[in-house]
Structure 1
Amino acid sequence: MADDIERAGWTCRSFTPDDLEMICEHREHMFLEAGGDPETLKIMTAHFRPWLQPRLADGRYYGFALLDADRPIAAIGLMSIDWPPHPSHPTDDQRGYVLNVFVEPSHRRRGLASALMQLADAEFKRRGLSFAILHATQVGKPVYERLGWKGTSEMAKVIA
């Protein structure tokens, strides 16, 4: 994985607090491409930014950026979240959470999303996490399925 990234001329680095705006921009573009309302997404980003800032600073939100000549071309956000022991992880009280996976349109279909997911697996393993979740867009779902991710019975409701 790391060799593939280097062979392609890209570099990988961990997030720093300086990545705040890049992460916000990628996240907004990701939701826009998934059919989100532009005005709602602007509001979301305005609230996401102050939520993300302290989490990037203290490491509760972590992840990786792939760079092409120092320009971010792809990124993945990760979190370790408290979760009670569950049939999928009966002895563990945390899960990994993957979010904000984004590859710039100019660099898609080159294996970057798969490389990011492999980085996530390795990082979760390094942190002692044996189970992870994510919410997939329709475009991302086949990528995740090829990497062994399975659908769950999760449901959602907006409480108004």
Structure 2
Amino acid sequence: MITVRRATIDDAQELVRLRGVLLTAMDGRAPEPGPWQAEALRVLRQRLADPEGSLAAYVVDKPDAPDELAACVVGVIEHRLGGPINPGGTIGYVFNVATDPGHRRRGYARACLEALLGWYHHRGVTVIELKASEDGESIYRALGFEPTAARTLRLTVVDQPRRP
């Protein structure tokens, strides 16, 4: 039996650690330590403090080390302009689906994702998006996610003043 729980502020540091695990898996190399970790920690602590807010994270604790996480998923609710498939414009976005390397292939990430999907359902969110890695795509498809025709583009602006 897998026990999934909603993450709290106390889990923020481990969520950042697992983000590093995810980034390593996606890029093939570990990310350099840097300000991204402190900023991620700050944002998680702030947003996890509001259980009625628009961010939720679900986690599974390591069975052999309860102060560490085996897996996690984070999701947000955004409010955009409506359209034909989503008249209300409310959309869920899933990210940071990560499992510690020593705890993979046990269903932990899937259990976390199912809990997050329940949170979305409870909040009335009917359109949910994510970006899938090759390793994760089969789990997402099994839960009903389908590819879209949308083409994602990104602009990265450098030398912007940092907000306080």
Is the TM-score greater than 0.5?
yes
- Residue type of the partner of 2:135? V
Could you tell me the TM-score, scaled by structure 2's length?
A: 0.80
Show the 5 A alignment for 1:121-136: 121-136=117-132
Q: Distance in 2 between matches of 1:84 and 1:30?
A: 31
SS state at 2:34 partner = helix
- CA displacement at 1:148 relative to structure 2: 1.5
> What is residue 8 of structure 1 aligned with on the other side?
none
> What is residue 57 of structure 2 aligned with on the other side?
63
User: Are the equivalent residues in 1 in contact too, given 2:5–2:60 (CA < 8 A)?
Assistant: yes
- CA displacement at 1:37 relative to structure 2: 5.8
> What is residue 15 of structure 2 aligned with on the other side?
23
Question: Which protein has the bigger helix share?
Answer: 1
Matched, 1:51 2:48: no
- Residue type of the partner of 1:60? S
Structure 2 unmatched ranges of 5 or more = 158-164
Could you tell me the TM-score, scaled by structure 1's length?
A: 0.82
Q: Distance in 1 between matches of 2:110 and 2:30?
A: 27
Q: Distance in 2 between matches of 1:51 and 1:122?
A: 23
SS state at 1:85 partner = coil
Of 105, 118, 129, which aligns to 1:109?
105
User: Are the equivalent residues in 2 in contact too, given 1:99–1:135 (CA < 8 A)?
Assistant: yes
Of 16, 38, 42, which aligns to 2:31?
38
Q: Distance in 1 between matches of 2:34 and 2:24?
A: 10
Quote the RMSD (CA, aligned, Å): 2.0
Q: How many residues align?
A: 150
User: Are the equivalent residues in 2 in contact too, given 1:28–1:42 (CA < 8 A)?
Assistant: no
- Residue type of the partner of 2:31? P
SS state at 1:53 partner = helix
Q: Over residues 90-144 of structure 1, what are the superposed CA-to-partner deviations in whole Å (9 max), with x where a residue is unaligned?
A: 2x23111111111111221122222222112211111111111112222212221
Structure 1 unmatched ranges of 5 or more = 6-10
